[in-house]
Structure 1
Amino acid sequence: MDQSPPAELVRHVATSTGLPTATAARVVADVVAYFRETTEEYVRRRHRELKRRGLKNDRIWAELTAELASRPVVAGSLSERQLRRIVYG
């Protein structure tokens, strides 16, 4: 499977930002990789990050619910119970 970013998108980013094509390609590849993360991977990673910042789970579940709803490719709505199961199994 080709992992290079879409050429049309790279051209658009390079043109609209003035970035060199190679830099635009790296930026696009980084963004695409970020959004390739599954819902489960995202929830686990963000839970760890928010825990490290000292947040308690009830605040974390609310934060994760809001974040998931605002992502460009929206995950299905998850309950607090479903979020806990993703994190703790």
Structure 2
Amino acid sequence: MAGVEDIVERVAASTGLPPGVAARVVDDVLAFYRTPAEEYVRQRHRELQAEGRKNPEIFPLIAAELRGRLVAAPVLSERQLRRIVYG
């Protein structure tokens, strides 16, 4: 598996970004994918509510997003998602 330095070099070479900028981009992407599922669910729920969406639409959308994450989160039911958000 490539190390972070290898990824930074590849991003810099393929995009023409300076190495410092490429490193910040890679760090940002890695931070996004390192976000624990519970934190991602809470954050995404807040974002979707701010858009005016309601829970019957939000929870299936979040469940689908979790299935598509690069590092797959566990399969969570709507009930489990609600418990993460509301306790």
TM-score, normalization: structure 2? 0.94
RMSD: 1.0
Confirm or deny that 1:87 pairs with 2:85. yes
Give the distance between the partners of 1:82 and 1:10, measured in 2 at CA: 37
Which runs of 5 or more residues in structure 1 are unaligned?
none
Determine the structure 1 residue equivalent to 2:23.
Answer: 25
Matches within 5 A, 1:65-80: 65-80=63-78
Tell me the CA shift for residue 76 of structure 1.
Answer: 1.1
- Can you list the C-alpha shifts for 1:19-77, whole angstroms capped at 9, x where unaligned? 11111001001111111110000000000000010101010011101100111011111
Which runs of 5 or more residues in structure 2 are unaligned?
none
Give the distance between the partners of 2:67 and 2:20, measured in 1 at CA: 32
* Paired residue total: 85
